[in-house]
Amino acid sequence: MLRIYFLQHWFALSDPATEAALYDTPAMRCFAQIDLGQEPVPDATTRCKFRHLLEENNLGVALFDAVAVYLEENGMKVSKGTIVDATLINAPTATKNKSKTRDLDRHQTKKGKPWYFGMKAHIGVDSKTKLIHSVAATPAHVHDSQVLGDLLHGEETRLWGDSAYAGQQSVLKDNDPKVKDYTQVKGSRHRKLTEQDKAKNRHKSKVRAKVEHVFHIMQRQYGFTKVRFKGPGKNADHLFVPTVP
């Protein structure tokens, strides 16, 4: 069931599409260790129960941590630099349920001029390898800086991020006082950015841009552009699986 769960997320398949793909594709059946001569492909109800099992036992986090340990044992370690960022994941705004209300675990937020409704995926990425070492899922209205502490592994010496993470020195000191803050300089109505500030931001963006490559893979390859399930637990587990390297 775990192998089927991975296949469904890696190829962005719905429950019916997953079942059809397993019947049609020998390579996927081989990976999932399914022998049609011995048993049929698990149906949608069975897969739904498996997702509930993951959610109830918080196994999404355990899977993510287990893969990180495996990679470290095989020589792929995180360095001393971390890039943090967040991206919005859209959710349906429909209220076609018994209470005629939206999902209480999702909220709306404004980015630029448009409004968005859904959740937010926060990640901490190694500045050299682009390995994701920290993940957090929140409603869309939670500010990026509020989960900064959850995105640090505690041994950083350098931190990169956009201007949303500016002014978080107290959080950095709580994790490691030696961390150098390379977040973008933030301007305001009363304090315009100088040419020197803009030059520093451009230089920092050359490193910070690596996190956008990770979001590109998550959204374009794994299809994580819309919330797939109801409830924060299942969607958080859904987030952990695409971020497993």
- Are the beta carbons of 19 and 44 closer than 8 angstroms? yes
Query: In the chain, which segments carry CATH 3.30.420?
Result: 77-243
Residue 163 CB burial class (10 angstroms; 0-12, 13-18, ≥19)? middle
Domain spanning 77-243, CATH architecture:
2-Layer Sandwich (3.30)
Residue 119 CB burial class (10 angstroms; 0-12, 13-18, ≥19)? buried
- Which residues are within 8 A (CB) of 98 and not within 5 positions of it... i.e. 6 or more apart? none
Residue 167 pLDDT: 82
Residue 166 pLDDT: 85
Query: Measured between alpha carbons, how far is 58 from 56 in angstroms, rounded to an integer?
Result: 6
Its pTM stands at 0.74
Greatest C-alpha distance within the chain: 72
Residue 80 pLDDT: 84
Per-residue pLDDT of the chain (245 residues; tens, 9 = 90+): 989 988 887 887 888 889 999 999 999 999 999 999 999 999 888 888 888 888 888 787 788 888 878 877 887 777 788 999 988 887 766 555 565 555 555 566 666 667 667 788 888 898 888 888 888 888 888 888 888 888 888 888 899 898 888 888 888 877 777 788 888 888 877 888 888 988 988 999 989 889 888 888 877 777 777 777 666 666 777 777 654 44
Residue 244 pLDDT: 47
- Both tokens of 218, joined, read 């998550």
Residue 245 pLDDT: 43
